[in-house]
Amino acid sequence: MTMATLSAVLQPAMAGRYAVCGLVCLGWEDARAYVRAAEAEGLPVILQAGPSCRAHTPLKVLGPMFRALGEGAAVPVVAHLDHGASREECREAIESGFTSVMYDGSRTPLEDNIADTAEIAAMARHAGVSCEGEVGFVGYAAGEGSRGTDPGEAKRFAAETGVDAMAISVGNVHLQERHEGGVDLARIRAIEAVTDVPLVIHGGSGIPHADRTELARTTRIAKFNIGTELRQVFGQALRDTLAGDPAIYDRVKILSAIEAPLEAAARRALRAVAPEGAGA
């Protein structure tokens, strides 16, 4: 299966009333587990390189790594830059083989966000790559507060930037460690009424699986970003491995042991937003 753009997997998802998971990667082991999970479920998957991942591993390494996994997969795989901070970073991701970039101008005034995102979306489109943007601001648990997406601003943003997907702030919060819910359905409906761009939920780990299923099947939300709940599984599996064999020291053996539980968790996340009746 060749690598896919974000648009190539989100447009069918939105039309078919399901969603695709953007799974946040921090290294080879979790990225490989996520592709295996997608293949087991027969579903597309988006491998995401966020800021913490890029602080540890350069884009020039991550791009070929994601492509090595995706080009050998039996399902569509998107290599996605998450929360790109600048035109230069988005350009580097495209040059490194990413098939999708997200430019995050959500902390800037709307006019600047629209202008910068439009420029990057045009650059991505010229390269045959998708672009995601964000309007409103999705906050962080125990950190910056959210600014809910204004439907009028969302209409302008979608129309003037030409993005392939639009991240919105509707009660979702990054880095939530529990399924707290609290998504504002009325705000989602108001945004849907003024734009037909596929919508994206960041901070998806804070939304219960049943709520994700409902949102995927009844709204234009076509992508859920999932990171924290998978990192929790990784951390627990690592602790269990070390506790089960205090003498173990081989890095490959230690990290290989976390892949099965991580794959299982990723399969649950993928299945929650899959088309009705789909999956293994």
Residue pair 33/226 in contact (Cβ under 8 Å)? The answer is: no
Residue 137's CB is within 10 A of a number of other CB atoms, namely 19
The per-residue b/e assignment along 173-190, b for 16 or more CB within 10 angstroms, e otherwise, is: bbebeeebeebbeebbeb
- Of the chain, the end-to-end C-alpha distance in Å amounts to 19
Quote the CA–CA distance of 120 and 67 in Å, as a whole number.
Answer: 22
Question: In angstroms, how far is CA 38 from the centroid of its own chain?
Answer: 14
Name the amino acid, one letter, at 226: I
Please, what is the angle between helix 87-95 and helix 59-71, to 10°? 40
Query: Known catalytic residue: 150?
Result: no
| Cross-strand pairs, 201 | 224
Residue 271 and residue 176: Cα distance in Å, rounded?
20
CA distance 77 to 39: 10
Q: For residue 216, what are its two tokens?
A: 């995927």
Give the span between the Cα atoms of 203 and 253, in whole angstroms.
Answer: 31
Catalytic residue among 30, 82, 116, 150: 82
Question: Which helix (H) or strand (E) is 70 found in, with range?
Answer: helix 59-71
Whole-angstrom distance, CA of residue 172 vs CA of residue 202? 7
How many Å apart are CA 32 and CA 262, to the nearest integer? 10
Q: Which residue has the tokens 């899959």?
A: 274
| Residue numbers annotated as active site | 82
